[in-house]
Each structure stands twice: as C-alpha cells, then as structure tokens.
C-alpha cells in the first residue's frame, strides 16, 4: 500500500521501519504509526503542550475518561465531535462495502476513521500531525480496533501522497482541501490544491470516490458579513469578513493589512469545484448541502440542485432580499454555506 | 450504502423503472436521544423527472449494520405496520399508517422502505407564534383519531391491566432498586387502588404518539409514522397523555433554550393554559371512557409505562429514563402536577431559577404524603 514519497518505489516492511527497494530510503515507525513525513508539523485546535498532556492522561486512564474529565474545556468539548459517528454520515453515500479500503486524508482525531472502521475492511488515517495520529493509535488499541492504519505524512502542499496508485475505494478530505496551500507559504494555492486533487485521483481505484467537505466560497453567510472561517485560526480577535467572496488579489491585500499574512486558505464555489475536479480527472461530480454545516453532528444532507435544497435555503435566508435576488439569478443552492462534494474516478 | 440501495430500488415497479440518476437521497437530521450504536439513519428517496419531484419513499437502515437492536427496531416497525394495516383495513382510519414497502438485506444491512407521507408535520403546525390557538385547533382532531382508534382496536389482544401494571411496577423496582418510589408506598398505593377497580383490559396504543410523529395530509386526514413501539398490550389512554405531556415538555424546552425561564412559570400559572390542559385532559379521559379510579393514578402509570418503553434494549434512552424517573419521584397526579414537575425538571440545572425552584419544591412536597422524596434529589 505504501510507496516511497521520494521515488515512488515499493516499500518493504522491516522491523521498526519501512525501506524503499528502489532508493534505499528508510522510514521509521512509531508504535504502529508509519512515519512517512520528513517535516515536523503540528496542527490542531488544541495547543501542542495541552495535547501532549492529554495523550499521557489518555494512555493512563483511557481516552474516553481523559476527554470527559479533562481540566481543559477545549478538550472536553471535543468529546461530542470525536465520539459522534453522525459526523461521517456523508460516507453512507459511498458505494463502500466490508471489502473496501478507505483513505482518510487529514484524519484529525478520527471522527471519520472510527465510524468507517466498522463498515469497511481498512481505513488509512493519514495526517501531518503526529500527535493526532498518536490519539488515533491509542484509541484503536483501547477500543480493540485493528483495521485503522495510522500514517504520518508531509503536509499535502508537498504534492506527493505516500501511497501506491489505485489502492483505495474512497478518499475522504473533510475540512482539509481549503488548508492545502497554506503550509508552504509560496506558490499559487489553487495550483497546489489542484495537484493534491490529482494525487487523490491517482490513489483511487477506478470507480472509487473522493469526498470533500468544505465551506462554499459564495456561501450566503459571507455576503451577510460572517467572518472567514479559516482566518479565525490566525487571529481569534480580529475577525475578517468578505475575504472569500472578494477577488483573491484583493483578499490577499486585506489579510496582509489586517493579519499580516497572505490569503492562502482558498475555498471555491460550485463552479470552481467542478472545474478543479474535472481538471484532476474526476468524471462524475455530485454536490450536497449539509444544512448545519459539513462539520456538524446529525445534520440533514440534501442533494443539490433539488427543490428540497431550495426550500431549505429559503427557510434560512428567504427574508433577505439580496439572497432572493442572487438566488433568482444563480439558483438558491449556489449560495449554501458549505458543501459535501463526491467526485468519482470514472476512468 | 446509498448507491447499493439506489441500485436495488431502480427498476422496481415502485419507481416506475426510473433512471438511476433520477433518484435523489436526502438524509434527515436524526434525533439524538438514542445511543449512536442503536441509531437508525432515515433518508427520503425522491424520484425526480425533469427537476420536479414525482414520488418519494422513506428508507431506513441502521448506522451499525449488524446491530441486533437496530434490526429489531426495523423489524418491529415493518411487522407493526402490517398488523395495524390489517386492523384498520376498510375503516375510516385505513391509510393512517404509511404502507410498508419492503424490509430486505442490502449490502449486509437490513433496509426498511415505507411510504413517504405527504402533508405537514403537526409539530411544525403547533409550534408557531400562535401556539395556544393552534393547540386548541388541532388537539380535538387528535383526540377524535385516538377515540376512533380505540374503538376499532377494542377487540384485539386484551389482557388484564392489573397484570400489566404489576409487571411495570416489578420491572421498575428491579431496574431501579435505589429509586425512592420503588421502595415507598406510592407504587403500592397505585396497585392497591388499581386492584380495587373493576376489571379493565390493556389497550392497543401507538406508544410514541407525539406531534413529531403526526402528519396532517393535504386532504386534512391525520396520519402517523414511527410504529416501532406499537403494542396491543398497553395502558388505555397512554397515547392521549403522551401527546399532551410531550407537547408541554417541548414547549418548556423551547422556552428554556431561548433563555425564557420565567415564561415557563407564566404558562403554569396562566389560568387559560391550565384550563386548556386540564379540560383537554378531562375531555380525553371521558372520551376514551377511562374509569374514575384509573384516572386518579393514570399519570404515574403513564410515567411507569414510559420508563418501561424507554428502557427497551433497542433504545437505552438513558437521558429520557432519568428524566421520567425524576418526574415520577415528584408523584404528579393531575396533568397540572405533571406540568409543574416538568417545569422543575427544566429549571433544575439553571442558576437563575432558584426562587422559582423553591416555590415549586414547596408545592410538590405538599403532593407527597410520605417521605420527602425531593430531598433525595440532587439540585
């Protein structure tokens, strides 16, 4: 399943590491986690120090107790997100079976990997944050789950997935694609994202599907002044609005002035996604509107375009004359706040 | 999972052999009172033609495919829909439950398909700005349906109610041995009272009869979904009490969630509301011919039966059980008592309702003739 990120050579498992049969590069393992990434990256909503303390606690007293009884409110709040399988309900839209292999790219705390592990043959939980993978590994051991394979890899900006071609029946990228391009700080984020999608396409089997969960660049809440969901991570105090709907060049000036950083967390419209996915090779693309957001638990998931989605959008924004005007031109669903997108590798 | 279901239903006469791409699946938001392992995923599958919706069905399957409890839930619903369909065939209530279309294994998961009910959900109609008048408008219609249902199902599965009550009391005592009411004289009192009644039998009840499960069809008829808890052996008038109790509960919950705790108190002290609930309750009791002796203890019995239903392996609704146990411990006798107990439940975890809480505890303590059970409750 794994291949050398440097030369695409086949990797052979040897005690304590993997070795490339072509270039001889070795990749160590850490407690069942294959360390395929060379760069050190930490990304989590929990600061690293607190995360490390939590992992020690989880190892000692069990992951569930450690979350529920944590002194840190931020950790306690994670329980619902970590332990509620409904967050991954979009995966019921995939044709996966108990014989399927799934790649969860940017697996975080495993909110997709754990529910999926009960329905498929194996789930590869891949992330550039080693601490999150340590949590997944710990929880798998404690819950007696044997089909989740944690893989540490470089951030997706680096352009090469450490997996062989046509390995997976499904690839999940939930709340991930918009961050691709923000790690490297240079190059066009759109091109970096495009390259990442090509890699996702490469590792999918024919007929396999890619799931993307992401905010809509033209979500109506942004027209109404909601702050950019991704810029909050750069500064919790300075809320920056309208950036997603502005031309990228202007958004870049705004974020440099307000936050001192370039604008690199690109989200896309329906058309934008269509173009990127088609250019990456995906043949059939379906869109869904998660009514409470793609990260929500127990959300209603409505196919778009559909009369049902239009009704749901009217219920939410129907009182706003700007929405009614824009909706009449482009279609109401065009302005839903976030998407699930399923792209199929048809050839 | 959904692509496999799509493949299965494509070509069925049901969808008039429609094209694969023309079936859209919408996943409904689920209520999360149950453990996630036992949860059932509900979808609306709609066949569209040139963008317009032609026909819809409801499809359900378990979140965890091999969950035996979830399978039993689907099997119960499928079986009960057939039982009720037969019971009501050729009567004025025929067509009240949706048609069961199939229960089959697809991709190693049991999948239940039922008819999609057109119309408006009663909870959407009730919970509007004009809630008082809406309740007055729709509740007689609800009672009329319940009365007809009772008449039409009178002959089936009758058992002595006192045996059922003994079972409920024993179940409660066994499940909650530390619960004050199980050891106290209250259950004994209920049983004694009940044993003195002339013989009454159990009744057929939907057992989950609340506004979310009731639909008003475009032709104005009442239609009901979620028949998984239907039983021929239930408490007479259980559905009627459940309808009122869940309405009051939902109303209080909405007010609590919007931070309007004093509004809950206002409702309970508002004579119009009180009269509305009490009169409707009395009207239910007389319409459903509930004998006087039973009326006096019907609320605690309703709570016992609710705890029994919520404790089922299929549900394990622990939050609901502890809430019902709390309500039972306050020993409500009338529907107004139950409304006060619900008020106390909703304000019990709030900082701002201390004065309100003290008033209610005083009031409820008067209701309890023996041990001061409320003192054992953690506030």
Q: Using the beta-carbon criterion (under 8 Å), do A92 and B32 form an inter-chain contact?
A: no
Give the three-class secondary structure for A190: helix
Query: ∠ at Cα B331 (B328, B333), nearest 5°?
Result: 115
Q: Using the beta-carbon criterion (under 8 Å), do B29 and A303 form an inter-chain contact?
A: no
SS (H, E, C) A72-138: CHHHHCHHHHHHCHHHHHHHHHCCCCCCCEEEEECCCCCCCHHHHHCCCCEEEEEECEHHHHHHHHH
Q: Using the beta-carbon criterion (under 8 Å), do B30 and A93 form an inter-chain contact?
A: no
The alpha-carbon gap from B19 to the nearest alpha carbon of chain A, in Å, equals: 16
Q: Does the bond joining A315 to the residue before it have cis omega, within 30 degrees of 0? A: no
Q: Using the beta-carbon criterion (under 8 Å), do B26 and A308 form an inter-chain contact?
A: yes
Closest residue in A to B52 (Cα) is: A307
The alpha-carbon gap from B27 to the nearest alpha carbon of chain A, in Å, equals: 5
Rounded alpha-carbon distances, angstroms, from residue A251 to A117, A193, A254, A256, A258: 40, 18, 5, 9, 10
Q: Using the beta-carbon criterion (under 8 Å), do B26 and A303 form an inter-chain contact?
A: yes
Closest residue in A to B2 (Cα) is: A93
Closest residue in A to B30 (Cα) is: A298
What's the confidence (pLDDT) of residue B188?
A: 65
Q: Using the beta-carbon criterion (under 8 Å), do A303 and B24 form an inter-chain contact?
A: yes
Mean pLDDT of chain A, nearest integer: 92
Give the three-class secondary structure for A268: strand
A297: which chain B residues are within 8 Å (Cβ-Cβ)? 32
Task: Determine what percent of chain B falls in helix, strand and coil, rounding each to the nearest 5.
Answer: 55, 15, 30
Among A92, A291, A299, beta carbon nearest to B1: A92
Contact A241, A224 (CB under 8 A): no
User: B290: closest CA among B150, B190, B196, B167?
Assistant: B150
Cα distance between residue B325 and residue B173, in whole Å: 12
Cα distance between residue B11 and residue B56, in whole Å: 15
B64: which chain A residues are within 8 Å (Cβ-Cβ)? 118
Closest residue in B to A306 (Cα) is: B51
ipTM score of the complex?
Answer: 0.89
Cα distance between residue A77 and residue A170, in whole Å: 29
Q: Which two tokens stand for residue B141?
A: 């219609």
A64: which chain B residues are within 8 Å (Cβ-Cβ)? none
The alpha-carbon gap from B238 to the nearest alpha carbon of chain A, in Å, equals: 30
B28 vs A: CB within 8 A? yes
Give the three-class secondary structure for A158: helix
Q: What is the dihedral of CA B147, B317, B216, B157, to 10 degrees?
A: -30
Residue B31 has, within 13 A of its CA and on its CB side, a CA count of 9
Q: What is the dihedral of CA B246, B248, B249, B252, to 10 degrees?
A: 160
Cα distance between residue B276 and residue B270, in whole Å: 10
Q: Using the beta-carbon criterion (under 8 Å), do B52 and A299 form an inter-chain contact?
A: no
Contact B82, B112 (CB under 8 A): no
Contact B161, B201 (CB under 8 A): yes
Q: Scan residues 303-322 of A and list those with Cβ closer than 8 Å to B.
A: 303, 305-308
Spans in chain B with pLDDT lower than 50: 32-34, 182-185, 370-371, 373, 376-379
The alpha-carbon gap from A89 to the nearest alpha carbon of chain B, in Å, equals: 8
Among B25, B52, B108, beta carbon nearest to A303: B25
Strand partners, A284: A344
The alpha-carbon gap from A258 to the nearest alpha carbon of chain B, in Å, equals: 35
What's the confidence (pLDDT) of residue B370?
A: 44
Contact B232, B267 (CB under 8 A): no
**Structure-token match 């994202």, residue found:** A193
B116: which chain A residues are within 8 Å (Cβ-Cβ)? none
A283: which chain B residues are within 8 Å (Cβ-Cβ)? none
Which residue, among B29, B31, B40, would best test binding to A if mutated, counting the most A CBs under 10 Å from its CB?
B29
Residue A145 has pLDDT above 90, yes or no: yes
Which residue, among A100, A119, A310, A344, would best test binding to B if mutated, counting the most B CBs under 10 Å from its CB?
A119
Secondary structure element (H or E) that encloses residue B143, with its range? helix B131-152
Closest residue in B to A305 (Cα) is: B51
Cα distance between residue B116 and residue A165, in whole Å: 43
Give the three-class secondary structure for A153: coil
Provide the sign of the torsion angle of the four alpha carbons B352, B358, B360, B361, taken in this order.
positive
The alpha-carbon gap from B228 to the nearest alpha carbon of chain A, in Å, equals: 21
Count how many pairs of residues, chain A against chain B, have C-beta atoms within 8 Å. Answer: 64
Cα distance between residue B238 and residue B243, in whole Å: 9
Contact B333, B296 (CB under 8 A): yes
Task: Residue A40: count other Cβ atoms within 10 Å of its Cβ.
Answer: 9
B52 vs A: CB within 8 A? yes
User: B176: closest CA among B184, B369, B34?
Assistant: B184
Among A95, A98, A298, beta carbon nearest to B3: A95
* Mean pLDDT computed over A134-141: 95
Q: Scan residues 252-271 of B and list those with Cβ closer than 8 Å to A.
A: none
Q: Which two tokens stand for residue A156?
A: 């997706």
Secondary structure element (H or E) that encloses residue A199, with its range? helix A189-203
The alpha-carbon gap from B37 to the nearest alpha carbon of chain A, in Å, equals: 9
Q: What length does chain A have?
A: 347
* Mean pLDDT computed over A123-132: 94
Q: Using the beta-carbon criterion (under 8 Å), do A302 and B28 form an inter-chain contact?
A: no
Among B27, B46, B51, beta carbon nearest to A300: B27
Q: Using the beta-carbon criterion (under 8 Å), do A292 and B29 form an inter-chain contact?
A: yes
Strand partners, A33: A30
E strands within A179-220?
Answer: 204-215
Quickly list DSSP for B71-119: HHHHHHHHHHHHHHHHHHTTSTTTTSSPPEEEEEEETTEEEEEEEPPPS
For the purposes of burial, counting CB atoms within 10 Å of the CB of A24, is it exposed (0-12), middle (13-18) or buried (19 or more)?
A: exposed
Cα distance between residue A318 and residue A310, in whole Å: 10
A280-315 per-position pLDDT tens digit: 999 999 999 999 999 988 899 999 999 999 999 999
User: What do you get for the CA distance between the two ends of chain A, in Å?
Assistant: 21
Cα distance between residue B303 and residue B187, in whole Å: 12
What's the confidence (pLDDT) of residue A80?
A: 72
Contact B82, B53 (CB under 8 A): no
Residue A185 has pLDDT above 90, yes or no: no
B30 vs A: CB within 8 A? yes
Closest residue in B to A285 (Cα) is: B21
Contact A157, A180 (CB under 8 A): yes
User: A210: closest CA among A197, A225, A227, A223?
Assistant: A197
Rounded alpha-carbon distances, angstroms, from residue B320 to A119, B128, B326: 29, 25, 10
Contact B247, B210 (CB under 8 A): yes
B274-290 per-position pLDDT tens digit: 888 898 999 999 999 99
User: A5: closest CA among A219, A152, A189, A210?
Assistant: A152
For the purposes of burial, counting CB atoms within 10 Å of the CB of B20, is it exposed (0-12), middle (13-18) or buried (19 or more)?
A: exposed
- Quickly state the pLDDT bin for A49 (edges 50, 70, 90): confident
The alpha-carbon gap from A302 to the nearest alpha carbon of chain B, in Å, equals: 5
């Amino acid at each position: 399943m794994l291949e050398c990120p440097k030369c695409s050579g086949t990797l052979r498992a040897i005690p304590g590491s993997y070795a490339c049969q072509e270039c001889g590069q070795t990749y160590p393992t850490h407690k069942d986690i294959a360390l395929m990434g060379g760069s050190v990256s930490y990304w989590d909503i929990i600061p690293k120090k607190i995360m490390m303390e939590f992992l020690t606690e989880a190892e000692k007293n069990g992951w569930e107790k450690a979350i529920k009884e944590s002194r840190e409110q931020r950790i306690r709040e994670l329980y619902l997100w970590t332990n509620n399988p409904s967050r991954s309900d979009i995966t019921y839209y995939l044709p996966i079976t108990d014989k399927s292999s799934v790649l969860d790219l940017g697996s975080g705390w495993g909110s997709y990997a754990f529910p999926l592990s009960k329905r498929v043959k194996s789930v590869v939980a891949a992330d550039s944050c080693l601490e999150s993978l340590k949590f997944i590994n710990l929880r798998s051991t404690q819950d007696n789950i044997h089909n989740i394979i944690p893989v540490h890899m470089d951030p997706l900006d680096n352009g090469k997935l450490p997996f062989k071609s046509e390995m997976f029946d499904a690839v999940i990228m939930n709340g991930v694609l918009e961050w691709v391009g923000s790690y490297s700080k240079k190059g066009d984020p759109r091109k970096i994202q495009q390259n990442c999608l090509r890699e996702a396409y490469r590792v999918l089997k024919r007929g396999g599907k890619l799931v993307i969960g992401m905010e809509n660049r033209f979500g109506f809440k942004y027209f109404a002044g909601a702050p950019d969901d991704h810029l909050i991570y750069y500064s919790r105090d300075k809320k920056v609005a309208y950036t997603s709907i502005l031309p990228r060049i202007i958004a870049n000036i705004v974020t440099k002035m307000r936050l001192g950083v370039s604008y690199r967390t690109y989200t896309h419209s329906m058309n934008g996604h269509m173009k990127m996915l088609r250019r990456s090779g995906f043949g059939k693309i379906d869109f869904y509107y998660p009514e409470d957001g793609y990260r929500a638990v127990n959300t209603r998931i409505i196919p778009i375009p559909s009369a049902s989605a239009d009704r749901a959008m009217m219920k939410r924004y129907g009182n706003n004359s700007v929405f009614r005007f824009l909706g009449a031109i482009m279609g109401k669903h065009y302005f839903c706040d976030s998407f699930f997108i399923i792209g199929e590798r048809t050839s | 999972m959904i692509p496999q279901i799509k493949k299965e239903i494509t070509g069925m006469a049901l969808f008039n052999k429609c094209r694969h791409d023309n079936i859209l699946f919408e996943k409904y938001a689920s209520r999360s009172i149950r453990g996630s392992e036992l949860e059932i995923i509900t979808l609306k599958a709609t066949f569209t033609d040139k963008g317009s919706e032609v026909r819809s069905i409801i499809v359900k399957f378990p979140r965890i495919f091999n969950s035996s409890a979830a399978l039993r839930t689907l099997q119960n619903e499928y079986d009960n829909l057939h039982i009720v369909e037969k019971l009501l065939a050729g009567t004025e209530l025929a067509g009240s439950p949706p048609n069961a279309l199939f229960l089959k294994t697809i991709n190693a998961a049991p999948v239940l398909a039922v008819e999609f009910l057109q119309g408006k959900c009663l909870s959407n109609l009730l919970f509007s700005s004009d809630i008082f008048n809406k309740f007055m408008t729709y509740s007689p219609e609800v009672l009329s349906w319940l009365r007809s249902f009772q008449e039409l199902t009178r002959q089936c599965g009758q058992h002595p109610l006192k045996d059922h009550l003994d079972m409920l009391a024993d179940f409660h005592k066994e499940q909650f041995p530390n619960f004050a009411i199980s050891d106290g004289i209250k259950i004994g009192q209920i049983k004694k009272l009940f044993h003195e009644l002339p013989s009454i039998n159990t009744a057929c009840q939907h057992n989950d009869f609340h506004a979310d499960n009731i639909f008003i069809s475009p032709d104005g008829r009442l239609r009901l979904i979620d028949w998984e808890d239907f039983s021929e052996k239930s408490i007479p008038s259980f559905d009627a009490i459940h309808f009122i109790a869940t309405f009051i509960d939902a109303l209080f919950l909405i007010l609590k969630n919007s931070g309007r705790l004093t509004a809950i108190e206002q409702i309970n002290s508002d004579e119009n509301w009180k009269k509305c609930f009490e009169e409707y309750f009395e009207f239910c009791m007389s319409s459903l011919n509930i004998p006087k002796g039973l009326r006096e203890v019907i609320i605690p019995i309703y709570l016992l039966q609710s705890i029994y239903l919520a404790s089922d392996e299929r549900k394990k609704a622990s939050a609901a059980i502890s809430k019902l146990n709390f309500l039972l411990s306050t020993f409500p006798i009338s529907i107004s008592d139950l409304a006060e107990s619900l008020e106390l439940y909703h304000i019990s975890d709030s900082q701002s309702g201390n004065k309100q809480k003290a008033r209610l505890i005083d009031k409820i303590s008067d209701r309890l003739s023996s041990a001061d059970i409320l003192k054992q409750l953690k506030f």
